[in-house]
Chain A
Amino acid sequence: MITAATKRRTAVRWFALGVAAVSAVALSGCSGSGSSSGPTTITFSYLWSGAEAKALEKVIADFNKSQKAIKVVGVSSPDAQKQLTSMSSSNGSFDISDNFGNTVGSWASKGIIAPLDDYLKSDGVDTSQFAPSALQQMKYDGKIYALPIAVHTQALMYNKDIFQKAGLQPPTSMDELAADIKKLTVRDAGGNITQIGMGNPSTSTLMTTLGYVFGGTWDGPDNKTPTPTDPGNIKGLNWYVSTFNDAFGADKVAAFSSGLGQYMSAQDPFYTGKEAMVIDGEWQAVNIPQVAPNLHWGVIPIPASDSSLADTTQVSTSTLFIPSNSKHKAEAATFLAYMVGDKAMTQFTLALGNLPSKTNLLDSSAYQDIPNFSVWLNLLKSENAHALSSEPYSAQYATDLGAAFDDVVRGAQTPEQAMQSVAAKAKSY
């Protein structure tokens, strides 16, 4: 029980330090208002809350202790609408905030967020360390407008017990995956599905990922043009249709999915064995031991449809950015540089169970204790790691794609029809 005692002692020390820091700040606030010697206070408004906010506050406290010039005040504000409206006035309410990578282009093009290149140079941030697929989302018109604090990749998770019972090995190709899905889907006499070979926690993520798996691209070779009808995308969608709709019936799949328990809860269908496999992100590796400790699961990269397309994955990012209406951009950038530094990024991504965005951290021993985490970590190094573009059109494109994917899943439209309708809409973006 030494560990518990030490833990408690460290906690006490932390608390004491916190009290000291707070009182120091309060005192300096009283005496130093208006004087140039006091620290510049910047506000970090973040969408995270709960345990994630707590982890973030720890990083903030470390930063505040590490230097005297800047004091960061963290505010948990999970309202994305408020975040946006605050940035539309000349006087903003925060100096740094977070969102998802797909907003960067839209916001940059409208002048909502500030370009960071000059600050990154003066603060010594080496942008070549970031995973290229993640960094691509941060750029608009050649400039960097945000930095990824955490990233996510997609891999194929499978239930070891179900595989063992069926005498199957994890699939090594998309054809094998399709065959395994058919073998592992259980239906009653009426054709009603009681267990499915592969689940679908997010149709948009699954379909865009399948497009990449079959060599497709959603934003063209220039990363700036919506290309929903790319042959690879159509192949990916058709793989879904033939594996699920043609084999089991779209209505049966819908009936099965609509009754499933809540994602990531104890009733999550993958945790309860209602889904034998699922393509999902690395956050599962941290969640499963907490919510479903008895689940025997493994994870492999999504099987390749072709040998040149091995280790294909979709990358998504959580970003930090500085709004254009911030009065303390330089100070915010200094803090941003600290946040994406090795120590803070490791600490924060570990707490969230997310991947670090810098390739030099991927082999860090810090992540060793998370079961199966290395598969997702390694995928970030893959040449076939792709991220959706973050262009001004991205929000509308994602909405239209979402509706079209939904039509494909319900069997209301063929992949070709659905993607052509998106292409027609994309002309007016």
Chain B
Amino acid sequence: MSTARASRRGARRQTLLGLAFASPFIIGGAIFIVWPTIASALYSFTDFNLFQAPRFVGIANYSQMFQDPTFWKALVNTAVLTVFGVPLTIVISLVGAHLLNLPVFGQPIYRALVYVPTIVPAVVGGYLWRWMLNTEYGFVNYFLGLLHLPQPLWLDDPAWGKPAILLMCMWTIGGTTIIYLAALKEVPAELHEAAQLDGAGFFARFRNITWPTISPVTLFQTIVTIIAYLQIFTQPYLLTQTRLNESSGGPGQSMLTYAMYLYQNAFVFLKMGYASAMAWVLFLITLVVTLLLLWSSRRWVHYGSDEER
């Protein structure tokens, strides 16, 4: 009997020891993640300006959102960016990964070059792109001019603000590409060989071998990219920044994203309650979109063979 008691005591020791080792994360998570989350939920039902005690206002912040034209504008802008940005990111990085997988001379250099823009600090990249997109002195319109293509006013034309943001985002696509490249390495070469012997061309092999094998990676990349686009802030903020911490939202507020308007409310207008409510609405939107995607994944994502599952 004593051995059983000893082992029970040992188990409890093990648990405590485990908790002790995990305590930096548990305590840190509680202070820096759980508590702020709860706090923002509470603030979202108050009128709070950071400096004075919050005042309970019920669901006023949430109902105000429905009547706030700027909120809807920002939401639509963000949705447009997401709808175009996510597929573009997936397609371009998948094509890029295939190209980087070709056994050509200097392959490691190309791989490094694709990743380099990701290392450039976002603020530096932002100011760089403001110059690149300048209609008179910028490289983008210079090259468009060489090709006799129309030279849009980019940051001064409501129709071209979002393409400018997407252009800047595509520049830092290296991270997604590298993950795809790693996934491509995992596709069994023998399957490709067998299919090739059976006379399957590149596209047939991509559809029947590559795409199913990397579909879990695609699911992951899609979710991560959607979340990134729903929260997009740095690029449009830097492209439209005017003075101090204010940012204009671009011509016709065409570049005002959800996160930018949230930031404006929080730190320029000092409406923390409204900003907190907006943050929770964005969280719910993200949750719903992610759940929908996970639900749909049963139809198109393949996890190994059926026997294993």
User: Would you call B135 and A407 a contact (CB within 8 A)?
Assistant: no
Is the C-beta of B245 less than 8 angstroms from some C-beta in chain A? yes
Query: Could you say which of A207-215, A254-262, A375-383 contacts chain B?
Result: A254-262
Is the C-beta of A81 less than 8 angstroms from some C-beta in chain B? yes
User: Would you call B51 and A412 a contact (CB within 8 A)?
Assistant: no
On chain B, the residues within 8 Å of A403 by CB distance are 70, 248-249, 252-253
On chain B, the residues within 8 Å of A110 by CB distance are 49-52, 270
Chain A contacts with B in 167-204, Cβ cutoff 8 A: none
On chain A, the residues within 8 Å of B134 by CB distance are 258-259
**Which residue in B137, B248, B252, B267 is a CB contact (below 8 Å) of A81?**
B267
Known: A81-B267, A395-B268, A428-B64. A254 touches B153 (CB 8 A): yes
Chain A contacts with B in 69-110, Cβ cutoff 8 A: 80-81, 84, 87-88, 106, 110
B113 to chain A, nearest CB (A): 30
**Which residue in A254, A399, A425 is a CB contact (below 8 Å) of B157?**
A254
- Which single residue of chain B is at the shortest CB-CB distance from A79? B245
On chain B, the residues within 8 Å of A80 by CB distance are 244-245
On chain A, the residues within 8 Å of B154 by CB distance are 258
Is the C-beta of B54 less than 8 angstroms from some C-beta in chain A? no
| Bound Cα distance from A421 to B67, whole angstroms | 13
**Which residue in A87, A111, A258, A399 is a CB contact (below 8 Å) of B268?**
A399
Is the C-beta of A396 less than 8 angstroms from some C-beta in chain B? yes
A105 to chain B, nearest CB (A): 12
Is the C-beta of B136 less than 8 angstroms from some C-beta in chain A? yes
On chain B, the residues within 8 Å of A402 by CB distance are 248
Chain B contacts with A in 173-194, Cβ cutoff 8 A: none
| Interface residue range, chain A | 20 to 34
| Bound Cα distance from A106 to B52, whole angstroms | 12
Is the C-beta of B155 less than 8 angstroms from some C-beta in chain A? yes
User: Would you call B135 and A258 a contact (CB within 8 A)?
Assistant: yes
Is the C-beta of A224 less than 8 angstroms from some C-beta in chain B? no
Is the C-beta of B269 less than 8 angstroms from some C-beta in chain A? yes
Known: A110-B270, A402-B248. A425 touches B136 (CB 8 A): no
Q: Mask for A393-413, Cβ within 8 A of B = 1, else 0? A: 001100110110011001010
Known: A80-B244, A399-B264, A425-B69. A407 touches B156 (CB 8 A): no
User: Would you call B136 and A81 a contact (CB within 8 A)?
Assistant: no
**Which residue in B51, B136, B249 is a CB contact (below 8 Å) of A111?**
B51
| Bound Cα distance from A302 to B58, whole angstroms | 50
On chain A, the residues within 8 Å of B50 by CB distance are 88, 110
Is the C-beta of A112 less than 8 angstroms from some C-beta in chain B? yes
Is the C-beta of B163 less than 8 angstroms from some C-beta in chain A? no
A201 to chain B, nearest CB (A): 12
Q: Mask for A250-287, Cβ within 8 A of B = 1, else 0? A: 00001101111100000000000000000000000000
Is the C-beta of B117 less than 8 angstroms from some C-beta in chain A? no
B216 to chain A, nearest CB (A): 40
- Which single residue of chain A is at the shortest CB-CB distance from B247? A399
B126 to chain A, nearest CB (A): 16
Is the C-beta of B125 less than 8 angstroms from some C-beta in chain A? no
A47 to chain B, nearest CB (A): 8
| Bound Cα distance from A396 to B269, whole angstroms | 6
On chain A, the residues within 8 Å of B212 by CB distance are none
On chain B, the residues within 8 Å of A421 by CB distance are 69
| Bound Cα distance from A80 to B246, whole angstroms | 10
User: Would you call A399 and B246 a contact (CB within 8 A)?
Assistant: yes
B244 to chain A, nearest CB (A): 4
| Bound Cα distance from A169 to B134, whole angstroms | 35
Known: A80-B245, A110-B270. A254 touches B252 (CB 8 A): no
Q: Mask for B143-185, Cβ within 8 A of A = 1, else 0? A: 0000000000111111000000000000000000000000000
- Which single residue of chain B is at the shortest CB-CB distance from A413? B252
Chain B contacts with A in 21-62, Cβ cutoff 8 A: 49-52
| Interface residue range, chain B | 20 to 34
User: Would you call B153 and A258 a contact (CB within 8 A)?
Assistant: yes
On chain A, the residues within 8 Å of B70 by CB distance are 400, 403, 425
- Which single residue of chain A is at the shortest CB-CB distance from B136? A259
| Bound Cα distance from A84 to B266, whole angstroms | 12
- Which single residue of chain B is at the shortest CB-CB distance from A424? B69
User: Would you call B267 and A258 a contact (CB within 8 A)?
Assistant: no
User: Would you call B156 and A258 a contact (CB within 8 A)?
Assistant: yes
User: Would you call A412 and B156 a contact (CB within 8 A)?
Assistant: no
- Which single residue of chain B is at the shortest CB-CB distance from A87? B51
Best-surrounded residue of B134, B244, B245, B267 (most CB of chain A within 10 A): B244
- Which single residue of chain B is at the shortest CB-CB distance from A203? B248
A10 to chain B, nearest CB (A): 36
User: Would you call B252 and A410 a contact (CB within 8 A)?
Assistant: yes
On chain A, the residues within 8 Å of B51 by CB distance are 87-88, 110-112
| Bound Cα distance from A106 to B251, whole angstroms | 26
A135 to chain B, nearest CB (A): 23
- Which single residue of chain B is at the shortest CB-CB distance from A106? B270
| Bound Cα distance from A49 to B51, whole angstroms | 28
- Which single residue of chain A is at the shortest CB-CB distance from B155? A258
On chain A, the residues within 8 Å of B251 by CB distance are 406, 410
On chain B, the residues within 8 Å of A425 by CB distance are 69-70
Chain A contacts with B in 26-77, Cβ cutoff 8 A: 47
Known: A111-B52, A258-B156, A428-B64. A395 touches B269 (CB 8 A): yes
On chain A, the residues within 8 Å of B246 by CB distance are 395, 399
User: Would you call B244 and A410 a contact (CB within 8 A)?
Assistant: no
User: Would you call A255 and B252 a contact (CB within 8 A)?
Assistant: no
On chain A, the residues within 8 Å of B157 by CB distance are 254, 258
B11 to chain A, nearest CB (A): 45
| Bound Cα distance from A111 to B268, whole angstroms | 16
On chain B, the residues within 8 Å of A395 by CB distance are 246, 268-270
| Bound Cα distance from A107 to B303, whole angstroms | 57
Q: Mask for B89-108, Cβ within 8 A of A = 1, else 0? A: 00000000000000000000
| Bound Cα distance from A399 to B243, whole angstroms | 12
**A/B interface sample: 27 pairs, CB < 8 A:** A80-B245, A81-B245, A88-B50, A110-B49, A110-B270, A254-B157, A257-B156, A258-B154, A258-B155, A259-B136, A395-B246, A395-B268, A395-B270, A400-B70, A402-B248, A403-B70, A403-B248, A403-B249, A403-B252, A403-B253, A406-B252, A410-B158, A410-B251, A410-B252, A421-B69, A425-B69, A428-B64
For the complex with contacts A259-B137, A425-B70, 18 further pairs of A-B residues with Cβ separation under 8 Å are A80-B244, A80-B245, A84-B267, A88-B51, A110-B52, A110-B270, A111-B51, A111-B52, A254-B157, A258-B134, A258-B135, A258-B136, A395-B270, A396-B269, A403-B249, A406-B252, A410-B158, A428-B64
By Cβ-Cβ distance, the 6 closest A-B pairs, closest first, are A259-B136, A258-B156, A80-B244, A110-B51, A259-B135, A258-B135
